[in-house]
A and B are shown apart, each in its own frame.
Chain A
């Protein structure tokens, strides 16, 4: 049964992707990409990746759709009518050939789920065996993310921060004089006048943020962690901004605080690494943080997950506000 279901979900992914490429209205393409992300999250869940599914649902279906809509408010929402071009036909042929080549190559690959596939015989068994002993937290994904491959995660956090800084630089610069007053000053854009989204949303926001905090601090025991929590909390506050208007959200969390959160979170991660060095261990080797190495590991993971959560929340909200501020 589950096989049929997963084949169905995978096929839906392809159908949705084709619909995204074909649609000429960018607004519907963005909505379809939200659906695409949600389907992707379901697929991840069926493939046993609970943590990844949570991230994809929060980031892909939530935050990314809002950011794309924010960008569409500043750009035309209709694609220019396409002429039939020869180039398109040639591309289609090439792309189909490559697809056939990939499918042909798949016959040499191990079947999905094969326990003897090379990917399962490398370091993965070691992680699964050593996690209960060395770190003693149930969620192996968090253990690998925070401790075994903590250096990797540090880099990812700084990539996110750098991208956020780039967006702020690009969008905070003054407008060129090319398009003076194209847009009529918009009425305080919010859903205040729409009763049902307003009432339902207001009830939901506290629970979304609470769930985000749960995901943050329960990440060692269940699916979750800083990346997911950051995206979920950011989504909750973005919902608040959509319901109550930009100004109300900025009053709660001013831009300076958001940038501070992003940088503070990233610095917290780095400082934990440096603290490990000062205490005589290696960079990001948390064992030295407490008398007992296992407790030290747990303290380190909780601290760096907190740093990740703060950095992701701060960056995503800063990006959202940068797009929203550009509209005014």
Chain B
């Protein structure tokens, strides 16, 4: 049972590396961006997992006098804003991919490099 408390870390590591693999080994630029967002989600998961307190609840204090256990609000704040920033940067990446496709007529990394070398 004790060992299951580490399961979140392993899932974090697995997701991180799956995203990293897509980023390196896939040539398609959209695929690379999807890999990047998996990588990002892995970090989100790590932060939120760290915030969890056994037997706690979401940090909303309805009755200040009651002795309740709350999870840590700080990592949640950091990730909350990071998610919205993440989608904006992904959108920026997608816009660049769209422009690359218009200029090169392909979104495969190695073909783009070949075209660049030829010109």
Q: Which residues of A contact B (CB under 8 A)?
A: 3, 7, 10-11, 13-14, 17-18, 20-21, 26, 29-30, 33, 36-37, 40, 43-44, 47-52, 55-56, 59-60, 63-64, 67-68, 70-72, 74-76, 79-80, 82, 87-88, 91-92, 95-96, 98-99, 102-103, 106-107, 109, 111-115, 117, 119-120, 123-124, 127-128, 131-132, 138-141, 143-145, 149, 152-153, 156, 159-160, 163-164, 166-167, 170-171, 173, 175-176, 178-179, 221-223, 225, 227, 230-231, 312, 315-316, 319, 322-323, 326
Contact = CB atoms under 8 A, between A and B. Distances in A.
Given A47-B71, A98-B13, 14 more contacts: A40-B41, A48-B70, A87-B25, A95-B20, A103-B13, A109-B9, A112-B9, A119-B50, A119-B75, A128-B73, A131-B61, A149-B77, A156-B81, A163-B91
Nearest to A68: B94
Main secondary structure of the interface of B (DSSP, over half): helix
A250 B69 CA distance: 47
Contacts of A319: 88, 91
B6 A106 contact: yes
Main secondary structure of the interface of A (DSSP, over half): helix
Given A167-B91, A171-B98, A160 B85 contact: yes
A159 B81 CA distance: 10
Contacts of A120: 53, 72
Given A56-B83, A67-B94, A163 B88 contact: yes
B88 A141 contact: no
A26 B31 contact: yes
A149 to B, nearest CB: 6
Given A49-B76, A71-B97, A159-B85, A128 B58 contact: no
B74 A144 contact: yes
Given A40-B41, A119-B75, A153 B81 contact: yes
B84 A231 contact: yes
Contacts of B31: 21, 26, 29, 79
8 contacts: A13-B11, A49-B58, A113-B53, A113-B54, A132-B61, A132-B64, A140-B73, A156-B85
A48 B108 CA distance: 41
A60 B74 CA distance: 21
Nearest to B76: A49
A109 B6 contact: yes
A218 B119 CA distance: 58
Give 3 nearest A-B pairs by CB, closest first.
Answer: A111-B5, A102-B13, A163-B88
Contacts, number: 300
A140 B70 contact: yes
Contacts of B9: 102-103, 106, 109, 112
A48 B49 contact: no
B76 A95 contact: no
A3 B86 CA distance: 29
A152 B85 CA distance: 12
B82 to A, nearest CB: 8
B88 A164 contact: yes
Contact of A111 (B6, B69, B82): B6
B4 A3 contact: yes
B45 A40 contact: yes
A170 B96 CA distance: 7
B56 A102 contact: no
B72 A98 contact: no
Contacts of B73: 124, 127-128, 140-141, 143-144
A91 B80 contact: no
A17 B79 contact: no
A91 B58 contact: no
A75 B44 contact: no
Nearest to A128: B70
A95 to B, nearest CB: 4
A18 to B, nearest CB: 6
Contacts of A17: 14-15, 18-19, 38
Nearest to A320: B91
A159 B88 contact: yes
A178 B102 contact: yes
